[in-house]
Structure 1
Amino acid sequence: MKTILAAVTLALSLCLLPASPAAANDLPPPRSDSWTVPTQFLACTGNAYALCYYSGPEIATPSHRYSDPPVMPCELDPDNLGAAKCTCYAVDGESEVPDGQQLGLEFRFNYVLLTSILNEDVRKETQETCGPLGKKCLNMINLNKCSEAKFKPDECKQADVCSMLGSARDNRKQTLYPDLAEVDLISTFSFAHISEHSFGSTSCDSGLYAGCMTAPCKTDEDGLTTCQCPTFTGPYQVGQRSPRLKELGLGCDISPNVWSAANHIKPPSE
Structure 2
Amino acid sequence: MNAGVRRLLRLCAPILLLCGLASAQDPATCTQDCPAPYVPNAFWTTQYGPAAANVVLSPTNFLACSSASYALCYYSGPDAPPKKKRGIGALPALPCNVSESDPGIADCRCYAESGTSYVDIHSIRNTEAYIETIRVCGLDGAKCRNLVTDELPGKAAEVLGVTPPALPTAPVCSYLQADADGKAPMAPDAELVSTFSFARVKSYGIQQTDCTATAAPYAGCMTASCTFERDAKGKPTGFATCRCPIYSGPFQVGQAGASCDAGSGNVWSAAYAPPSSGSGTSGN
Instruction: Report which structure shows greater RCO (CA 8 Å, sep ≥6).
Output: 1
- Please give the residue correspondences for 1:173-212 in structure 2 after superposition, counting only pairs within 5 Å: 173-177=183-187, 180=188, 182-204=189-211, 205=213, 206-212=215-221
Q: 1:199 deviation in Å? A: 3.1
Q: Is the 8 A contact 2:132 2:172 kept in 1?
A: no
Q: Does 1:252 align with 2:260?
A: yes
Q: 1:63 to 1:32 in 2, by over 3 A?
A: farther
Written as runs of structure 1 = structure 2, the 5 A alignment for 1:120-159 is 120-143=127-150, 144=153, 152-153=165-166, 156-159=167-170
TM-score after normalising by structure 2: 0.70
Deviation, structure 1 residue 27 = 3.0
73 and 268 in structure 1: CA distance in 2 versus 1, 3 angstrom threshold: closer
Contact map agreement 2:229 2:240 (CA 8 A) in 1: yes
Mapped contact 2:56–2:277 kept (Cα < 8 A): no
1:225 paired with 2:240, answer yes
Q: Is the 8 A contact 2:67 2:176 kept in 1?
A: no
Tell me the distance in 1 between the aligned counterparts of 2:175 and 2:154: 25
Amino acid at match of 2:170: A
**Which residue identity lines up with residue 133 of structure 2 in the other structure?**
T
Q: Radius of gyration: which is bigger?
A: 2
* 1:83 aligned residue: 105
The answer to whether the Cα contact below 8 Å between 2:178 and 2:191 also exists between their aligned partners in 1 is no
Give the counterpart letter for 2:243 in structure 1. Answer: Q
Q: 1:199 to 1:63 in 2, by over 3 A?
A: farther
Gaps of 5+ in 1: 1-19, 95-108, 246-250
Asked if residue 241 in structure 1 is aligned to residue 256 in structure 2, the reply is yes
1:115 aligns with 2:122: yes
User: How far does residue 67 in structure 1 lie from its aligned partner after superposition?
Assistant: 2.5
2 CA distance for matches of 1:196 and 1:62? 11
Aligned to 1:14: none
SS of alignment partner, residue 79 of structure 1: coil
Equivalent pairs, count: 220
What is the rounded CA distance, in whole Å, between the counterparts of 2:176 and 2:262 in structure 1?
31
| Aligned 8 A contact 1:164 1:175 in 2 | yes
Q: Percent identity?
A: 37
**Corresponding letter in the other structure for 1:77:** S
Match of 1:72 in 2: 94
SS of 2:49's equivalent in the other structure is: coil
Structure 2 counterpart of 1:214, one-letter code: T
**TM-score, normalising length from structure 1?**
0.74
| Deviation (angstroms), 1:268 | 7.1
User: For the residues of structure 2 that align with 1:145 and 1:158, how far apart are their CA atoms?
Assistant: 19
